Amino acid sequence: MFKLTKFTYSCKKAHLFIGLSLIAISFNVFPSANSPLLSNNAIEFKNSTYKKYGQGNEQLVLKSKKGNINLRNKAINLTGKVEGKFSLDGETFNLRSESLSGNLLDKSIVSKEKVLFSTSSIEIISSSMEITQTLPGGFKILFRNASLGTINSESNMQKGKAKKIEFFPAKDLIFMEGNAELYEENMKIISDEIHYDLNKDRILKSVNSKIFNNQ
């Protein structure tokens, strides 16, 4: 998904380049009293902004109050009012959390705290989130203990929740699993598993379902 990578670190007119993805990072560096500025291949910073560009209009932007990056294994940890925005196939996705961690090599992003995630059509609130790249070229977003709402008032789906929700942005698919509940028009559906196509605005699959009339 993101093929061209560069990380730029600037301090006292010194520049360090790592070819992996294009990430422009602006930050203030605060070394601890007992460690140098660059210790164990790690950089600490505050008030940071990350920008990562891929093919076409693909873009990832992350902001946080504090963070650090390991130059050896390319691991990034962000804390404090973390905000993220990324674009793919003309769609923009937003997220907020108190902490995020990621890796530039396997292109993964994880949060073990409450997450607010939104697109132009849906909003998901969950206790944790994990973004991983899938083959070929797409990615999957996993939410746990999640509730789902729709921003598009014309959608048949109104809201839902499940122990696990998987979102596949490239295909506009949502998989709900574990005590799944979905409210669609005048119906409430309780199921072990529900697959929903956001583009076609309909259920593709449900397992052990019970349907109730909301009227």
> Domain locations in the chain?
6-213
| Residue range 5-32: mean pLDDT, rounded | 36
pTM of the model: 0.78
Q: Which CATH number fits domain 6-213: 3.90.400.10, 2.60.40.180, 2.60.450.10, 3.30.830.10?
A: 2.60.450.10
| Residue range 130-153: mean pLDDT, rounded | 85
User: pLDDT-derived band of residue 21, with 50, 70 and 90 as boundaries?
Assistant: very low
User: pLDDT-derived band of residue 20, with 50, 70 and 90 as boundaries?
Assistant: very low
User: pLDDT-derived band of residue 27, with 50, 70 and 90 as boundaries?
Assistant: very low
Residue 199's φ and ψ, nearest 5 degrees, are: -70, -45
Looking at residue 5, its pLDDT comes to 37
Q: What number of other Cβ atoms are within 10 A of residue 54's Cβ?
A: 19
Looking at residue 115, its pLDDT comes to 97
Return the bridge partners of 61, or none: 51, 85
* CB-based contact 53:3 (threshold 8 Å): no
Task: Work out the percent of the chain whose per-residue pLDDT is above 90.
Answer: 40
* CB-based contact 195:206 (threshold 8 Å): yes
Task: Decide which of 120 and 214 is more confident.
Answer: 120
Mean pLDDT highest for which of 70-79, 108-117, 127-136, 179-188?
108-117
**How confident is the model over 87-120, as pLDDT tens digits?**
876 788 999 999 999 887 777 889 999 999 999 8
3-state helix, strand, coil in the chain (%, to 5): 0, 70, 30
Looking at residue 156, its pLDDT comes to 84
| Distance of alpha carbon 62 from alpha carbon 54, whole angstroms | 15
